[in-house]
Amino acid sequence: MELIQENDLILIVHQGRKYLQKAVPGKGFHGKGGTLDFSSLVGLPYGLRRGQYDVFEPTLEDMIMYGVRRETQIVYPKDAYYICFKLNLGRGCRMLEVGTGSGALTILFSRLVGPEGRVVSVEKEERHHKNARKNLERFGNLETIDLRLQDFSDFEEGEFDAAFIDLREPWHIIEKVRSLIKDSASLGVIVPTANQVSETLRALEGIFGDVEVLEILLRKYKCVADRLRPDDRMVAHTGYLLFARKVRENEPARESIDQPISQ
């Protein structure tokens, strides 16, 4: 059983609202449900109710949604988990990310590749790079992440199992990313507008196959048994997702080793 320790992260839930806090002794949380003294929580198990507050152990989603400091728009969990599924990420993978942003997706990538894998994330904006590093130090595992502050045009490593691009004009680097990933490896791209999708599709032509374009819409429901209905608001369009797989250009067929030698 996990017990709350001093300075542990805790998730406080009150009437559907969530707050990520650190259980610092001598301090507390003050909200519409009253005051919650953090010292009174130390040594108790997660998943408890104190007055009007429920206190849980934070999940990775909680940390990303309520803890990551954002200087850029993050990739939302509804998109992030599907991205990882489509990129076929698993323990031991080498993952290339172009455009670290605030580092939210980088955290998820590193969780999936595990200690045997590696995430190389390239960001050219220094302030985004510094903010992402702070987020990753707090919520990620820097032992599996290699953060690079550089222009991608200067990046020369290769043999990645998958790649993901989160840039305003991804079509400019499609060919270079292709040269850095393994044959048949998956590429993911996220862009906010339809004209960006069109430009990216043109860049993929002929050098990638199994191309898909999609978006994911998330609608939650009011959790009242006698009045079950959709929430008044929903997380609709957050970005277009493009996925493709690297293919070789047409090559001449090899002669079968079983083919008889002509006389």
State the total domains in the chain. Answer: 2
Question: pTM of the prediction?
Answer: 0.88
Task: List the CATH number of the domain containing 220.
Answer: 3.40.50.150
Q: Give the model's pLDDT for residue 260.
A: 55
Long-range contacts, stretch 72-75, CB < 8 angstroms, 24+ apart: 72/101, 72/102, 72/128, 73/101, 74/101, 74/102, 74/104, 74/105, 75/101, 75/104, 75/105, 75/166, 75/190, 75/238, 75/239
The reply to whether 162 and 38 lie within a common domain is no
Q: Does 190 reside within a domain?
A: yes
Query: Is residue 4 situated within a structural domain?
Result: no
End position of a domain, from candidates 20, 40, 58:
58
Is the separation of the CB atoms in 57 and 10 below 8 Å?
yes
pLDDT of residue 254: 60
Q: What is the pLDDT of residue 261?
A: 52
Helix (H) or strand (E) holding 190: strand 181-191
Print the domain residue range for 49. Answer: 9-58
Specify whether 133 is located in the same domain as 169: yes
Do 123 and 181 lie in one domain? The reply is yes
Assigned domain for 170 exists: yes
* CATH number (domain holding residue 29): 3.10.330.20
CA angle 75, 78, 82 (to 5 degrees): 90
CA distance 49 to 84: 34
**pLDDT of res. 249:** 75
Residues 87, 158: one domain?
yes
Q: Are 128 and 17 contained in the same domain?
A: no
pLDDT, tens digit, 9 for 90 and up, residues 61-84: 999 999 999 998 899 999 999 999
Is the residue at 253 inside a domain?
no
Domain-embedded: residue 198 = yes
69 and 135 belong to one structural domain: yes
19 and 75 in a single domain? The answer is: no
pLDDT at residue 263, as a whole number: 45
- Give pLDDT < 50 ranges for the chain: 257, 263
